[in-house]
Amino acid sequence: MIDVDGLISLVRNYNPKTNEKLIRDAYEYGREMHKGQTRHSGEEYFQHPVAVAAILTEQRLDDATIVTALLHDTIEDTRATYEEIADRFGEEIAGLVDGVTKLTNLQLSSTGSRQAENFRKLFMAMSKDLRVILVKLADRLHNMRTIKFMRPEKQVQKARETMDIYAPLAGRMGMQWMRDELEDLAFRVLNPEARSSIIRRFITLQRETGDVIHKITNDIRKVLEKEGIEADVFGRAKKPYSIWRKMEEKGQGFSRLSDIYGFRVITESEADCYRVLGAVHRRWRAVPGRFKDYISQPKSNGYRSIHTTVSGRDGKRVEIQIRTREMHEVAEAGVAAHWSYRDGVRAENPFAVDPAKWLESLTEHFDTAEDTDEFLEHVKLEMYTDQVFCFTPKGDVVKLPRGATPLDFAYAIHTRIGDSCVGAKVDGVRVPLWTRLKNGQSVEIVTAEGQRPQAAWLDIVVTGKAKSAIRKSLRAEDRERFVRLGRELARVAFEQMGKKATDKALETAARHMGYEDAEDLLARIGSAEITAREVVEALYPELADTSGDEIEEARAIAGLSPGQAFARAKCCQPVPGERIVGISYRGRGVIVHAIDCPVLSEFEEQPERWVDLQWHSGKHPAVYTVTLNITISNDSGVLGRICTLIGEQKANIADMKFVDRKPDFYRILIDVELRDAEHLHTVMTALEAESAVAEIERFRDPGRKP
């Protein structure tokens, strides 16, 4: 553990005017409060707050943040109180410690409305003082570095939460180094075999090619020396998770990935950045579509840099980032650069973004969300995506998340433009509405009177604003039909519980669940946004399903009448964990369909036959057959590896059928017996990772008779 003099020395390296007495007092107070406490590893607990403080010194943060790190667990885990900390260390530090304590108690990995409310609290804490999040991120980083001492199930929970929430948040704040490390530490827990495989391939590659990083770094330095440009050049291999993500996104094996190394050129001036770019492009051929100028169009978190990819030594793709030293400081610290110190004074970095303005840009669309799902959609889109910059015909810049389409562009300009969109031109050429936009493109939207949003648009757009506007329009258009269907589903669900769906009951449920009125509630039931069962359980929690962990197939479905027979629809093959609905047949009982099954459209005018159902919660046996459509390369041993992979995931192959044979590939339908939707996802992910699998999808056939 770093002693108090060692910690003060770390702070003094960048802030000679540090309040040494304040840090020393906080160190001794925290150590006394945590006395007798130990971590899972058996080490003295106070080692953790000291390690968190040390991580924050790497970002050259102010004394208040360092002291908060030393005290961040005292209110929650010791006899210390807010009042005592405020009295000894001041209101500013007490407020920061209290903020970190409240964040620690938030269950951000929970689901539904609770998760939405907790995210609101997260952003509320950030809006008060962003340093609270900086301490929390450093706290999570140290916990992930020492996660091996936790119970296995706790490791998975923390790793998933880190991957889903904290790593993207660090990235959105511009702290890319922290995001990379958090993701890789979580990856080590969630998929250790894949990570080990990538590391082994790296070692093999290095043995075959030598130190590629050193060679390419020297190549770049020679080019810059020839041009008379002074700059530092650094190279690194990308983190295993970053490589895994590229393999997943591109559907390529490791051997086909070429840009697995990254290089950084740090210059003295902005003009030198563009001189470096010119020198690099003259020496090597630029890869089309891989150039981004974040100097002329900075990210909202203050990030500035030029990104380019060239075909370097031996034809290998080389990704190069070019920036000045000041830009590099912001790229490393992100929003935290606002609090960075140098030589005892707050560093005046012209590129450091104002945290208040950054937070405002992050949350500007949150208040427009109409319900829980839309709010979470906004949050995750803002946190998890990079941005592209496109232009209107008049030259105005429109910021959109990566993957955005002309429809997103139209809604970003105005809802009315989006609703009436019938086409788009990108750089003067007519393109489909599902085209993914790229940086620097000019977009012109074609509109027509009488045009209305279509349901298919929801699969095209990616922004929360566009999705919200489309849903709102569709709800208004289909409201009457949805209300009628919702009323029938509610009636059946209430009667199955021995209750009546009276107007008063529906009004009460709407108010309790946060909807406008009973009609709004019924419309959402009819549009499958919520289930009638959820409405019943919101009013009568004591009727909620409380069945045990072992769920027999014969009693897997909740919502049926006593003794009522049921069967899974063959067309969509629903599995536990998926939203379902039943269609009743005279003499045959109920056929259970997935809520998105296209066959359900045949019964829209027969609401009396619909039965609101759901799977009993708990552990289900692996008896639910799902058909997978897999395309594999026609090589020896491939089919055996596929079968082995499925078996390793504790799934059983019930049937196999070859539907297409070509000289270079086979297409096969495999019936796999699974437990639930999560088991299905696990099997498909394992198969996708196999390099011999070209394509895999869940096979659904509307023509199969129920």
* CA–CA separation, 413 and 394 (whole Å): 12
Which of 670, 598, 664 has the alpha carbon at shortest distance from 629?
670
Alpha helices, DSSP H only, in 210-239? Answer: 212-227
DSSP strand E in 480-570: where?
557-558, 566-568
Assess contact for 624 and 595: CB atoms under 8 A: no
Q: Phi and psi for 431 in degrees, rounded to 5?
A: -135, 160
Kindly give, in sequence order, each residue whose CB lies less than 8 Å from that of residue 206, ignoring residues fewer than 6 positions away: 212
- Which amino acids are annotated catalytic? 76-77
Could you tell me which residues are beta bridge partners of residue 429? 426
* CA–CA separation, 514 and 184 (whole Å): 39
Sequential DSSP letters for 14-46: T-TT--HHHHHHHHHHHHHHTTT-B-TTSSBTT
Distances (CA, A) of 681 to 63, 183, 638, 649: 47, 20, 21, 11
Q: Establish how many alpha carbons lie within 13 A of residue 524's alpha carbon, considering only the half-sphere containing its beta carbon.
A: 24
* CA–CA separation, 62 and 64 (whole Å): 6
Which of 346, 347, 343, 348 has the alpha carbon at shortest distance from 16?
343
Could you tell me which residues are beta bridge partners of residue 261? 237
Amino acid at residue number 607:
P
* CA–CA separation, 30 and 74 (whole Å): 7
* CA–CA separation, 647 and 650 (whole Å): 5
Q: Tell me whether strands 566-568 and 589-594 are parallel, antiparallel or unpaired.
A: parallel
